[in-house]
Amino acid sequence: MEISSVLQGGYQHPLSRSWQAKRTLTKSMLMYPIFITDDPDAHVEIPSLPGQARWGVNKIEEFLGPLVKKGLKSVILFGVPLKCEKDGKGTPADDPSGPVILAVKKIRELFPSVYIACDVCLCEYTSHGHCGILHADGTINSVPSAARIAEVALSYAQAGAHCVAPSDMMDGRIKAIKTALIGAGLGNKCTLMSYSAKFASSLYGPFRDAAGSAPSFGDRKCYQLPPTAKGLARRAIQRDVNEGADIIMVKPALPYLDIIADAAQIASDHPLACYQVSGEYAMVVAGARAGVYDLRTMAFETVESMIRAGCTLILTYFTPQFLDWLDE
């Protein structure tokens, strides 16, 4: 046997195995997606996302308190308006008494150490359920869409969000948001995390169910990227870097590890995030329940793959479990 063919000596021990990782999962790398609804006392389980719930603002202390004790560092908020009047431009998105703005203020007050990101999109708030403003023929009207998204992002930043994260995939929104933040004196107070390479995926099903954000007609294929489109993803990442994004994100995560690896090259000077989306979470949970694998082992394998591909920040519904697992 050739001397150079013997590799096993390098990873025969649990400790030497751990040295093979360039980077390992820490609590700081986890951002927890949470759903805040406009019934202030709500705690409603989401059947398609086992273990996750919609919470009202009055329940945030009971919900996040135990997690913060375990080392929760950051959350990303999704508003779930159930009572409001939706319209063509998503007016309730930046309602000062809407769930997101109230939750930002509440979390800052209750848990000053927690880093708060807000997902920014219109689909939860538009009557048609699309992520932007539409022309009369139902196609996306890009310029007013980017302007409206920037307005909403600014309102979250002004409420105290540490980070705004547009997930709408409208052209021009990164520049519009960055310009709005700088114009309001928040350029150095709020991070802009772009869902740069967000694909039109089947894996958002449970989320749309949870957030009530499914489009009322058509689909999102004219703004979210085609799953085959490596080139478009690379261009979108480069474009968002040029427009002033502070963090680049790829979404979904596991089926798009090649895009994450590309992003790590293209945006090599930026932190890189990925979103293990609702359908990925539901698949991992369902597989474990079916006896295909052990939940914890599989959850680590998925997230470690994302880290290996180049991510330093992972949005995952497994965050509460990882906080426990990382302590064991």
Ligand X SMILES: NCc1[nH]cc(CCC(=O)O)c1CC(=O)O
Show which residues are catalytic.
Answer: 198, 251
User: What residues from 73 to 92 belong to the interface with ligand X (CB under 6 A)?
Assistant: none
Tokens of 116: 């708060």
Strands 53-55 and 43-45, sheet pairing: antiparallel
Q: Is 275 annotated as a binding residue?
A: no
**Maximum Cα interatomic distance, the chain, rounded to a whole number of Å:** 73
Mark residues 161-200: x for contact with ligand X by CB under 6 A, - for none: ------xx--------------------------------
Any contact of residue 38 with ligand X (CB under 6 A)?
Answer: no
| The entry of ligand X, Zn ion, none that residue 278 binds, CB within 5 to 8 Å by partner kind | ligand X
Q: Is 123 annotated as a binding residue?
A: yes
The span from the CA of 51 to the CA of 256, in Å, is 25
| CB of 187 or CB of 287, closer to ligand X | 287
Residue 188: C-alpha distances to residues 178, 185, 238, 318 (Å): 10, 8, 22, 31
The span from the CA of 327 to the CA of 64, in Å, is 18
Q: How far is the CB of 225 from ligand X (least distance, A)?
A: 11
| CB of 123 or CB of 241, closer to Zn ion | 123
* Contacting residue, 131, 154, 263, 311, with ligand X by CB under 6 A: 131
List residues binding Zn ion (CB under 5 A).
Answer: 119, 121, 123, 131, 167
Whether the CB-CB separation of 166 and 240 falls below 8 Å is answered with no
Is residue 119 helix, strand or coil? Answer: strand
Of the listed pieces 61-69, 119-127, 241-249, 286-294, which binds ligand X according to CB under 6 A?
A: 119-127
Q: Is the dihedral of CA 175, 180, 183, 184 positive or negative?
A: negative
Any contact of residue 277 with ligand X (CB under 6 A)?
Answer: yes
* Contacting residue, 31, 46, 75, 123, with ligand X by CB under 6 A: 123
* Contacting residue, 37, 213, 316, 319, with ligand X by CB under 6 A: 213
Any contact of residue 204 with ligand X (CB under 6 A)?
Answer: yes
| CB of 208 or CB of 234, closer to ligand X | 208
Q: Is 18 annotated as a binding residue?
A: no
* Contacting residue, 52, 91, 278, 319, with ligand X by CB under 6 A: 278
Any contact of residue 145 with ligand X (CB under 6 A)?
Answer: no
Q: 49-54: which pairs have CB atoms within 8 A and are 24 or more residues apart?
A: 49/206, 49/207, 49/209, 49/210, 49/278, 49/281, 49/282, 49/317, 50/282, 50/285, 51/285, 51/317, 51/320, 52/210, 52/317, 54/80, 54/210
The span from the CA of 99 to the CA of 199, in Å, is 27
DSSP 188: T
Any contact of residue 207 with ligand X (CB under 6 A)?
Answer: yes
Any contact of residue 208 with ligand X (CB under 6 A)?
Answer: yes
DSSP 27: G
Q: Where are the beta strands (DSSP E) in the chain?
A: 30-37, 43-45, 53-55, 74-80, 115-120, 163-166, 191-198, 247-251, 272-276, 313-316
Q: How far is the CB of 65 from Zn ion (least distance, A)?
A: 26
Of the listed pieces 11-19, 102-110, 204-212, 300-308, which binds ligand X according to CB under 6 A?
A: 204-212
Any contact of residue 234 with ligand X (CB under 6 A)?
Answer: no
| The entry of ligand X, Zn ion, none that residue 243 binds, CB within 5 to 8 Å by partner kind | none
Counting DSSP H helices and E strands in the chain, the numbers are 11, 10
Any contact of residue 121 with ligand X (CB under 6 A)?
Answer: yes
The span from the CA of 227 to the CA of 105, in Å, is 37
Q: Would you list which residues are annotated within the binding site?
A: 121, 123, 131, 208, 220, 278, 317
Residue positions forming the annotated binding site for 5-aminolevulinate: 208, 220, 278, 317
Residues that bind ligand X (CB under 6 A): 119, 121, 123, 131, 167-168, 204, 207-208, 213, 277-278
